[in-house]
A and B are shown apart, each in its own frame.
Chain A
Amino acid sequence: MTESVLQVKELKLGISNGKHKIPIVNGVSFNLNKGETLGIVGESGCGKSLTSLALMGLLPPGIEWQDGDIKITEQSMKGVSHRVWRSVRGQKVAMIFQEPMSSLNPVFTIGNQIVEMIQSHNKMPKEEAKQHAIHMLKTLGIPRAEAVFNEYPHQLSGGMRQRVMIAMALSCNPDILIADEPTTALDVTIQAQILELMKDLQQKMDMSIILITHDLGVVAEMCDRVIVMYAGEIVEQSTVVELFDNPKHPYTKGLLASLPKIEERKEYLSSIKGVVPTAGNMPGGCRFAPRCTARHEKCDVKPVLRNYNDQSMVQCWLYSDN
């Protein structure tokens, strides 16, 4: 029996104008098992970042948690105090972001920023925290770790900064690491190194990873299971093998078709016409229908996410009789 570290149930996040609640993330449910890597893919604007921020209680101002529940290692986070969230952040769930350039505070040293985090979760003397921070930097393969400890973010390259971010995120031994497009801003070689490191550390530290990306190549490389999000909903959820071998949702197929094959080197990646609809302008039935090549009459009614087989779920009328 696999142990679940995170359960998200019917999560709704959105804005409200006056009396109307407008969901942006519209009833998302998933599970994350211990030691597993779960990918979340989808075009930008699908609600991937909002979903992940909700897992840390860091929704941006104006976005509210409208419905549903998040359970982190069995604890429901619905309506808990700031204090409880603080104990979760960094210690149970840690996060790294897309932009390593702007994710570290420019006016404090690397060491200061890591030690601060270590000491906020562990009562330990400064010297011990410092040693632990340097150890983390070394673990991430950062050369001259002792010197880097005293350096400022602007003195490091983008790849090094992202390593520092990961070192910091992992410094309190979290159960879950959320990586929101962690390598999008880096060049390909460095991207590969960082992903390799994450995989490596995941095994050593026995942690779960949620990897948000719009790069299916990265998914194939890293993930055990994948969630495909479209316009704030999960349209397909399956194991990685199943996703690549037997994609079901027309949106998933479109994403896969836009994966650049090395032989082809396409200029335009997208083979799906149109754009993601924004909250408030959602189509009534299936949200993907306006862009779908397999659209038919049933699509005016909203489909639900159903089990397709024991490896996958899909939200599409093509795979459902009633």
Chain B
Amino acid sequence: MLLSYIVKRIFHAILVVIVISLIVFFSIRLTGDPVAIMFGAGEPSQEAIDQLTAELGLDQPLHIQYGLFMKGLLTFDLGESFRSGIPVMTLIAERVWPTMLLAFGGMVVALLIAFPVGIISAIKRDTFLDFGGRVFSLIGISFPNFWLGIMLILIFAVNLQWLPASGFEGFKYLILPSITLGLILSGVLARLVRSSMLEVLNQQYIRTAESKGISKWVVILKHAFRNALLPTTTFIGLQFGALLGGTVIIEQVFAWPGIGRLIIDAINQRDYPVVQGGVVFLALVMVVVNLIVDLSYSLIDPRIKAGKGK
């Protein structure tokens, strides 16, 4: 049962990765010819151009190029950077840690904010506190990532000089980017926690729990919250893509040496292998995270057996 489910999910994951690889493969080729910018301002001879094109394998028909890319993917060989000649796998390996750290930090900040805000909003429904929580969510949802990032840099790095504004040389450097990413995500998340809590608090089993004479907080944090966690977990799984997308922008704002910046720089330089490798790698991460989230449902809700859906 579980095994056939996992097989199905892996098949699904492969499909997703193939589609993404196709999209990135063709769209990066729409940005222009890498050979042209690799010569910079110089006036290369046609011969030199042809030679470099052949070296990079760009003289091959597209289907052959794609085939080679996919073949490399199967053997975990993503080719080498056009620019530096460093294997793409090495470049990704160097950058993966900062990006994951940032995504994790953002998620932690988002949860730390969204859970209390959402829960308090729900139990203090239609009071001043709830109103505050909802305004907070709205702000979180409607403000663009980069704007908030820049504001935080201005306040905490430039004016107060408490925290570094850019780079990655230690824990301190993680704080501002994580808060920026987390704040953005916490808006939607708090709203979701609130609405899930409101729904759960109306259930009969909450009244049962109250009738037992246990403390109010046990009713809220154990009986209600555990049930509200299910839709929240689904959401976190679904939002992981948005979170990774968010890191790409945050990495730009904070000069964060992660995969997002690697990809953006590579796009600017038309460094095809790096762009392809980076994007496919992010897609893979997302697919794996979604699988883990799916499997974790059955831990949260005993009614759900993995693979049987909700």
Q: How long is the Cα–Cα vector from A58 to B211 in the complex, in angstroms?
A: 8
Given A97-B204, A152-B302, A105 contacting B212 (CB threshold 8 A) = no
* Interchain CB contact under 8 A, A104 and B208: yes
A11 at the interface (CB under 8 A from B): no
Smallest CB–CB gap between A60 and chain B, Å?
9
Find the A residue at minimum CB distance from B227: A107
* Interchain CB contact under 8 A, B214 and A107: no
Given A102-B205, A103-B204, A104-B205, A94 contacting B211 (CB threshold 8 A) = yes
* Interchain CB contact under 8 A, B303 and A106: yes
* Interchain CB contact under 8 A, B212 and A120: yes
* Interchain CB contact under 8 A, B213 and A86: yes
A136 at the interface (CB under 8 A from B): no
Q: Mark A88-110, 1 if CB is under 8 A from B, else 0.
A: 11110011010100111111100
CB-CB under 8 A from B203, the residues of chain A are 102
Output the residue of A82, A89, A106 with the most chain B CB within 10 A.
A106
* Interchain CB contact under 8 A, A102 and B204: yes
Q: Mark B130-173, 1 if CB is under 8 A from A, else 0.
A: 00000000000000000000000000000000000000000000
Instruction: Give the segment of B215-223, B241-249, B285-293 that binds chain A.
Output: B215-223
* Interchain CB contact under 8 A, B213 and A90: yes
Smallest CB–CB gap between A9 and chain B, Å?
23
Q: Mark A167-179, 1 if CB is under 8 A from B, else 0.
A: 0100010000000
CB-CB under 8 A from A108, the residues of chain B are 222-223, 226
* Interchain CB contact under 8 A, B210 and A105: no
Find the B residue at minimum CB distance from A99: B204
* Interchain CB contact under 8 A, B213 and A106: no
In chain B, residues 269-310, which have Cβ atoms closer than 8 Å to a Cβ of chain A?
300-303
Q: Which residue from A61, A94, A106, A116 sits with its C-beta under 8 Å from B214?
A: A116
CB-CB under 8 A from B213, the residues of chain A are 85-91, 117, 120-121, 172
B8 at the interface (CB under 8 A from A): no
Q: How long is the Cα–Cα vector from A308 to B56 in the complex, in angstroms?
A: 105
CB-CB under 8 A from A107, the residues of chain B are 226-227, 300-303
Q: Which residue from A58, A95, A104, A120 sits with its C-beta under 8 Å from B215?
A: A120
CB-CB under 8 A from A61, the residues of chain B are 125
A56 at the interface (CB under 8 A from B): yes
In chain A, residues 95-154, which have Cβ atoms closer than 8 Å to a Cβ of chain B?
95, 97, 99, 102-108, 116-117, 120-121, 152, 154
CB-CB under 8 A from A154, the residues of chain B are 302-303
* Interchain CB contact under 8 A, A106 and B227: yes
A-B contact pairs, 20 of them (CB 8 A): A58-B211, A86-B215, A87-B213, A88-B213, A89-B212, A90-B211, A90-B212, A91-B213, A94-B211, A97-B204, A97-B208, A99-B204, A103-B208, A105-B208, A106-B227, A107-B303, A116-B214, A121-B213, A152-B302, A165-B208
In chain B, residues 156-210, which have Cβ atoms closer than 8 Å to a Cβ of chain A?
203-205, 207-210
Q: How many residues of A contact B (CB 8 A)?
A: 31
Q: Which residues of B contact A (CB under 8 A)?
A: 125, 203-205, 207-216, 218, 222-223, 226-227, 300-303
Q: Which residues of A contact B (CB under 8 A)?
A: 56, 58, 61, 82, 85-91, 94-95, 97, 99, 102-108, 116-117, 120-121, 152, 154, 165, 168, 172
Q: How long is the Cα–Cα vector from A82 to B216 in the complex, in angstroms?
A: 9
Q: Is the interface of B mostly helix, strand, loop or mixed?
A: helix
CB-CB under 8 A from A102, the residues of chain B are 203-205
Q: How long is the Cα–Cα vector from A56 to B207 in the complex, in angstroms?
A: 11
Given A90-B211, A152-B303, A106 contacting B218 (CB threshold 8 A) = no
CB-CB under 8 A from A116, the residues of chain B are 212, 214, 218
* Interchain CB contact under 8 A, A58 and B214: no
Smallest CB–CB gap between A305 and chain B, Å?
29
Q: How long is the Cα–Cα vector from A188 to B202 in the complex, in angstroms?
A: 29
CB-CB under 8 A from A94, the residues of chain B are 211
Find the A residue at minimum CB distance from B208: A103
Smallest CB–CB gap between B205 and chain A, Å?
4
Output the residue of A106, A107, A121, A165 with the most chain B CB within 10 A.
A107
The 9 closest A-B pairs by CB, nearest first: A89-B213, A90-B213, A102-B204, A117-B212, A105-B205, A152-B302, A120-B214, A95-B211, A86-B213
Q: How long is the Cα–Cα vector from A251 to B69 in the complex, in angstroms?
A: 83
Q: How long is the Cα–Cα vector from A103 to B215 in the complex, in angstroms?
A: 18
CB-CB under 8 A from A120, the residues of chain B are 212-215, 218
Q: Which residue from A82, A105, A165 sits with its C-beta under 8 Å from B209?
A: A105
Smallest CB–CB gap between B299 and chain A, Å?
10
* Interchain CB contact under 8 A, B207 and A58: yes
Q: How long is the Cα–Cα vector from A95 to B21 in the complex, in angstroms?
A: 60
Smallest CB–CB gap between A8 and chain B, Å?
18
